[in-house]
Amino acid sequence: MSQKSPFIVSADWLEERLHEPGLSILDGSWYLPAQGRNARAEYEAAHIPRAVFFDHDLVVDPDSDLPHALPEPLTFERFASSMGISERDTIVVYDGSGLFSAPRVWWLFRVMGVEEVFVLDGGFDRWRAEGRPVTSEPTKIAPTAFLPHFDRTRVARLADMRRIVEEGSAQVADARPAGRFTGAEPEPRAGMRSGHMPGAINVPATSLSEDGSLLPPGRLRKRLEDAGLDLEKPVVTSCGSGVTAAVITLALESLGHRDNRLYDGSWSEWGGRDDTPVVAGSE
């Protein structure tokens, strides 16, 4: 395990276990259009041996019009089983840049009851730069039976967020970049209003990592507290579509903070409605 977090494993740790049974490796890469990277194409060109591609745009609630909507347990069960994953496996998730979309996959499996799920320190870009084994061969998948144990208490819905914003019963940590949080920069998705939820605190996901690694505990705690979070109080994490919010969740959990939820609809839901309050600027 990594010294940075009990939920992060080193490249050495993973490479030593590449051939062990009961290990599932997931390429959880996903990128914004502005990043100019194609996650699936990159996976097909090169990935860690045994890795299976986790498609963030596919493993969703098919009945929701929100991007990356959390699937119901039975739907997730079908996806996980088709990827050859058991809830008893040790699961390691990585993404290309190191700490961007992999935490979302980590969070999804934890919400579905998996205990042994981790994020790879440094991601695939560092793994490959260090000369570790990669392959373009398709991973052979033996379908299995994944049994979910869904924990609804880790998820915040729209009704929850309305109460939280109105009552101030939890801190809202928004992982979007500062420009989008203040409304100075437009949202990448059409139809979204600019700004943030009243009372929300901006904690850009990129501010919690360095060179693809989660900040060490001392620096991580200071970064969160300097942003305005009280780590003794409840937190709800949010972002554009529920992906990078999980970076804050990973940071919180790594510091022992357990009273947190992730707002799955995030700004795609809140900013896409006309009946939710929105604040622009740095208020």
Q: Which positions are catalytic?
A: 239
Using DSSP bridges, classify how beta strands 209-210 and 117-120 pair: parallel, antiparallel or unpaired. unpaired
Helices (H) and strands (E) in the chain, counts: 10, 12
- 147 CB-near residues (< 8 Å, 6+ apart): 77, 86, 87, 113
Residue type present at position 91: I
Q: Which of 89, 208, 119, 110 is nearest to 155 (CA)?
A: 110
CA distance 281 to 144: 49
Phi, psi of 173, deg, nearest 5:
-105, 115
Cα gap 81→78, rounded to integer Å: 5
Give the torsion through C-alpha atoms of 212, 213, 214, 218, to 10 deg.
-130
Q: Compute the C-alpha angle 184/187/188, nearest 5°.
A: 135
Residue at 28: amino acid letter: G
